[in-house]
Every structure is written in structure tokens, then in C-alpha cells.
Amino acid sequence: MNTELIVASMSGVVALASLAYSARVNRMSSLLSDDLERQSAERRRMQERRDVMSRYRDPLLWAAFDFQSRLFNIAGQGFLRVHFVQPHDRLYAVRSTLHVLAEYLGWVEILRRRIYFLDLGNHEANRRVVALFTRIGNVLSDDAHPDTHFQVFRSDQRAIGELVVIEGEEADRCMGYAEFCARLESDQEFAAWFSRLSDGIVELASLPGRHPRLVDLQVALMDLIDFLDPDRERFPAKRRFRLQHVGLTGE
């Protein structure tokens, strides 16, 4: 074999080895780039998850707490009887009670629309949230309770939630108390959705007893609060009380 042929053969081998090495390096570089991109995407998802949870879970948590607090005060502390002495206090008692119910249903509606964002770490947690929503909705709509006060049928729950949701470019929110009261005064169609509930609140003010539906609602809401705030960061243990059933007519 002459020198030129040997050199050409060696050059070919070197070229092939160089190509193989270059392809391997490029492949490794591509895999590393893909891995870095996946890590970067996961970090973005985690950040988005934190942002979403801060945006939606906390308002829901506060709405649930305000709602259960009012139920606790009505069923356990005689809130309505105290506030129905003066006309102005009576108006406040009715409207503010309607608002805490509507606000809770509003945040449930917002999260229903964006439930895929409510990632609490795993699918089981998501299912638990939905189960808690369902339980509270069932207590509200259940016609097996001996009283009909605070009964809201399932479709009406959705409708009330829709009515108080204010859509925004970046995030939805629920109607504030001042705007809610203004709509009750100025919009008859809006107010009509709350007329039955309003009448029921007025009746509750004159009736003794803790009322099973209110007790069950308050307890179910506390279960939701315990799930959303398990470490008691927002609401410490000293602020978490649960009503107990003590009979239909006694307190």
C-alpha cells in the first residue's frame, strides 16, 4: 500500500471518528439542553402554582372562614336576635349574611372554572377539594333537614356565584360588600335571587334553636378550612370552633 493511500485511509478514519464524536457531543448537548429546559419549565410551573394558589386559595379560605363565622354567630351566639333590635342593625345583619354566603359561592364558581389551576401538589388533593365543595353544596341544597332556612338549590348556588363574580384580565374576583348592597337596592333581578334567603334570615331571627342545616354547614366549612390551611398559618387553632348538634329546639 503506497503512502498516499495510507494517509487517505487514516484521514478517512479520523474524519469518521471526528463525525461520530461530534454527533455524540451534539446529542449530549441536545439532551442537556432539553433537560435544562424541562427543569426551567418545572420551575416556572412551580412559580405559577404558587402565584395561583396565593391568588385563589387565600380568597376562598377567607370567604369560607367569614361564612362559617357568621353561621357560628347565628346558631351559637344569637347574632340575629341581637341585631334585629334596631332597623339599621337589622338591615346590616340580613345583607352582610347574604354577602358572606354569596362571596363563598362566588369563589367556588371561580375555582370551578379554573379547577385545573388548583394544584395542591397531587391529584388526590384536588379530588379532596372537589369533595369538600360537593359536601358543602349538598348541605345547602338538602331538603331532608327539618328546616328550610338557608336552603339553596344546586343550580341556584351556581347562579348566585355567577352573579357576584367580576371577571378581570389577570384574575377574577368577587363583588365587595358595598357593591353588593348597591346592586340589591338598584337591580330588582339581582335582588330577586336573594329574596327567599332574605326572608329565611328574617324568620331565623325569631326562631329558637341552632338549626341543623346551619350546624352542618359550619362544620363542613371548617373541614374545608382545615384542609386549605392545615398548618394554621392563616387561622390559628384558637379561632377554629365547631358547632355541635344539641337537639332541634334547644341551644
**Domain count of the fold of the chain:** 1
Instruction: Identify the band that residue 55 occupies on the pLDDT scale cut at 50, 70 and 90.
Output: confident
pTM of the model as a whole: 0.76
Q: Characterise 88 by phi-psi region: left (phi > 0), alpha (psi -120 to 50), beta (else).
A: alpha
Establish if 68 belongs to a structural domain: yes
Task: Give dist(CA 16, CA 186) in Å, integer.
Answer: 83
CA dihedral angle for residue 108, residue 111, residue 115, residue 116, rounded to 10 degrees: -170
Establish if 47 belongs to a structural domain: no
Whole-number mean pLDDT of the chain? 83
What pLDDT does 29 receive?
A: 72
Instruction: Identify the band that residue 113 occupies on the pLDDT scale cut at 50, 70 and 90.
Output: confident
Which has more pLDDT, 81 or 185?
185
Neighbours of 228 (CB within 10 A): 19
What pLDDT does 50 receive?
A: 55
Establish if 142 belongs to a structural domain: yes
Convert the pLDDT of each residue in 58-70 to its tens digit. 899 999 999 999 9
Establish if 233 belongs to a structural domain: yes
List the domain range (segments joined by +) for residue 186.
56-239
Establish if 63 belongs to a structural domain: yes
Q: Residue ranges of the alpha helices (H) in the chain?
A: 3-52, 58-77, 79-83, 87-113, 123-141, 154-164, 177-186, 188-192, 195-204, 212-228
Establish if 165 belongs to a structural domain: yes
